[in-house]
Structure 1
Amino acid sequence: MEMFRENDIATVGGGETLQAARQPFVVTHHQNTVALIACNWAGPDIALVNENAGRPGAAYCDMAWLNEVIPELALTYDVVIVCVQYQEVEQHTPTEKQRLDFRTLASLGADAVIGTQAHKPQTFEFFTDNAHQAFIHYGLGNLFFDQEFWGNRRFFMDTLYIYQGRLLTVDLFTGIIEEQARPRPMTPEEQVTFLQFMFIQQNGF
């Protein structure tokens, strides 16, 4: 953590104390205010911060905390983004429990809920609850490296476009990992094949 501070590198979702790990990362850009929080739903316990002063780690996705903080952030900031390290599954679609949990975060007021845990890229949706619409991406896939399997080599890197205080659109940037640790953008042909595959997974075609 000291190295991050010395190099002015912002962190979110982890820290030396529970309070620091839960601290939102706030950005103001062209009069748009964005709050980002992140948490770990899966553990293991050794990776999670606790009240022990000598125990840094990730913030656990405690629902009592999330039930309180997400609505507060939604009232204070234009756009709220929640990143979740969920339980990993070797599939391109979310489990029913994952779908329920991510939708719950959206219903609390998050404008985007993004899973950071997936080894295989997972499907996405626009979810509406009580006139509030949120973008949910259940898993981005591996960004930097992974096993040389077809599904594990492909990934998303979402670009969120925010305009006049709201999430306007999402660019689903697609990439592929070569030689286990050399990510690159997909070619147009690779992207068409990949996106078609992903839409089929969620019955989009």
Structure 2
Amino acid sequence: MVKEPARASSRDGAGMIDGPAVRPGPGPDPQPARSRIRTRTSGAWPFRAFGRSFMSRLLSSGSADDDSSGPRVAESRRALDFGLAPALINGQAMTRRSGSERGSRGGTGRPRGASIVVASDWAPIRAFEPVMSADPPAVYGDLLPVLRRADMRIVNCECALTRARRPVWKSGAVFKGRPSHASALSAVPFEVATLANNHVFDYGLTGFRETLDVLRRHGVRTVGAGMTLAEALAPLRLTVGDERITIVNFGEGEDLTASTGGPGVCGWEIDQLARTIRAAKRRGDFVVVVGHAGLEYIPFPPPYVVEAFRALSEAGADCVVGHHPHVPQGLEVRRGRLIAYGLGNFAFFQPPELLYRRTGFCLSLEARAGGLASYALHPYRITDQGLRRLGAGEERRFREALGRVSSPLRTAKGIAEAWQSYLAFYGPEGLKAEVLGILGMMDTEPRKGAAMFRNRITTLQHRELWRDALTRFMSERPAPVRPD
């Protein structure tokens, strides 16, 4: 059972929000230039092996009923779930102490604790719109029992739930569902929806207000955005079983209506977020941090994301979870605290027939006496009918792939090399194509082009990419010019 105390005061600290308001207007985002670039390789981390095709190559030969590798899957699952895989956790084993060692809030004996499932992006769009409309729980397929076994469930609401018809001018696509689609959340039920993402304001303030009201009426609490600055900054505090839970949600603030007074989202103020976490840990809370950040469609977190997520973990967060890249990224355990940089998509359908974008995982966390006792991964395939848990052979290949893309996290050199491999793949051609595409859009659809350009220079993920790419280009030896 989930109980909600009074919301924490904004004085506890969380992210700040700023930036100009977005303007109403339609228009889809053209395909990003970098997704059209041919695959290249460079250095110790060839992007072809570890980049866009990694899930396709390592999962394509599996089938749902392939159970020939059951023992190997079980061994791999134990290694990952209990923090014993060196490739994932820098050789550190997770500390698992009993209730008597850590203290019990309920008198003598071991506290019962609480189980929490954290899932990533959810939206009733594209192929999932009719599925969620006709039979809301059906979209979760055979993952539904896993979700329902938990004491509490958290998901990222990656859209507005509104009848509003006028979208904002923004860089990317706009997403919305009807208010009735919220029944696909309450049917599980998801008790908490994180909102610090780049789509919750896609239909402006009207759509956002209605989204808050719809979620509230369906019994879904929200965190990470609000009509006032205080609401956006406040962490969500709940009691689940014997555990006091604090949930902190933040994002990069991409394309969101934001001002010093609100409305807006909890933004990228890592020091302030760390103060929020330390205050929660002093109260003995179990702290889950959910961040919407990073570069889309690559399996490595950029260095600035690694630095930020690790800082929040060092502040005491028991689990830091990321989404927004739409593909699985690596994970690690540091001092008994889990960091999962990207869960991939959840109930969020994307058309390309690419398995790395049609594969994701959710996390089960076992909280006990204010700390992380254990965790488990639940990988699945995203089909046009909904989610399907991986078969034994598929799961083995998935876990092997996840271990490989986690391995750069073991060293600072690995993190840098992984990022440099993407910069090499992106290349001068990628940057030129992206800039020319935006300039072309400014000719044909000026407000859309302006939104795209503003997004590239104000949003951390794009600014970091362009800065580091330009720095790399400046340091490279130019190719010799051949005479005609």
1:26·1:33 contact (CA, 8 Å) conserved in 2? yes
**Aligned counterpart, 1:178:** 383
Distance 1:24 1:51 in 2: 18
Tell me the residue number matched to 1:201: 405
Looking at structure 2, the residues matched to 101 and 82 of structure 1 have their Cα atoms a distance apart, in angstroms, of 11
Asked if structure 1 preserves the Cα contact closer than 8 Å seen for 2:329 and 2:406, the reply is no
TM-score scaled by length of structure 2: 0.38
Report the AA paired with residue 343 of structure 2.
L
1:47 alignment partner, SS class: coil
- Dislocated runs of 4+, deviation >6 Å: none
Matched, 1:3 2:203: no
Alignment of 1:26-105 (within 5 A): 26-41=237-252, 43-44=253-254, 46-52=255-261, 56-105=263-312
2:391 equivalent to 1:187: yes
- Flag the structure with larger Rg: 2
- Post-superposition shift, 1:89? 3.4
Give the secondary structure class of the aligned counterpart of 2:365: strand
Residue ranges of structure 1 left out of the alignment (5+ in a row): none
Normalised to the residue count of structure 1, the TM-score between the two structures is 0.87
In 2, distance between residues paired with 1:185 and 1:77?
35
Please state whether the residue corresponding to 2:223 is helix, strand or coil. coil
Q: Percent identity?
A: 25
> Higher strand fraction: Structure 1 or Structure 2?
1
Distance 1:58 1:96 in 2: 23
- 2:197 corresponding residue in structure 1: none
1:64 Cα deviation from its structure 2 partner: 4.0
Question: Partners in 2 of 1:18 and 1:64 — Cα distance?
Answer: 17
Q: Secondary structure at the match of 2:298?
A: coil
Where 1:70 maps in the other structure, the secondary structure is: helix
Structure having the higher helix fraction is: 2
1-side partners of 2:317 and 2:332: how far apart? 14
Distance across 1 between alignment mates of 2:372 and 2:269: 26
The Cα shift of 1:109 comes to 1.3
Q: Which residue of 1 aligns with 2:337?
A: 134
Q: Which residue of 2 aligns with 1:110?
A: 317
CA RMSD of aligned residues (A): 1.9
How many Å separate the matches in 2 of 1:113 and 1:40?
A: 13
Instruction: Look up the equivalent residue of 2:256 and give its one-letter code.
Output: A
Q: Which amino acid aligns with 1:107?
A: E
Counterpart in 2 of 1:122? Answer: 329
Q: Which has the higher contact order (CA 8 A, sep 6+)?
A: 2
Residue by residue over 1:79-115, the C-alpha shift from the partner in whole angstroms, topping out at 9 and shown as x without a partner, is: 1111001122322122222111110111111111000
Distance 1:67 1:194 in 2: 33
Letter aligned with residue 361 of structure 2: F
Counterpart code for 1:8: G
The alpha-carbon deviation at position 52 of structure 1 amounts to 4.3
For residues 108 and 92 of structure 1, the distance between their equivalents in structure 2, rounded to whole angstroms, comes to 25
SS of equivalent to 1:102: helix
SS class of match (1:60): coil
Q: Distance in 2 between matches of 1:57 and 1:5?
A: 18
Identify if the C-alpha distance between structure 1 residues 135 and 48 changes in structure 2 by more than 3 Å, giving closer, same or farther: farther
How many angstroms apart in 2 are the aligned matches of 1:203 and 1:83?
22
* Structure-2 separation of matches of 1:80 and 1:67: 11
* In structure 2, C-alpha distance between the alignment counterparts of 1:99 and 1:106, rounded to whole Å: 10
In 2, are the aligned partners of 1:102 and 1:113 still within 8 Å (CA)?
yes
Contact 1:156 1:172 in 2 (8 A): yes
Q: Which residue of 2 aligns with 1:149?
A: 354
Is the counterpart of residue 168 in structure 1 residue 379 in structure 2?
Answer: no
Q: Secondary structure, in 3 states, of the residue corresponding to 2:407?
A: coil
SS at match of 1:38: strand
Deviates further, 135-144 or 156-165 = 156-165
In 1, Cα distance between the equivalents of 2:294 and 2:405? 19
Superimposed CA distance per residue, residues 130-158 of structure 1 (whole angstroms, 9 cap, x where no aligned partner): xxx31000000010212321211110101
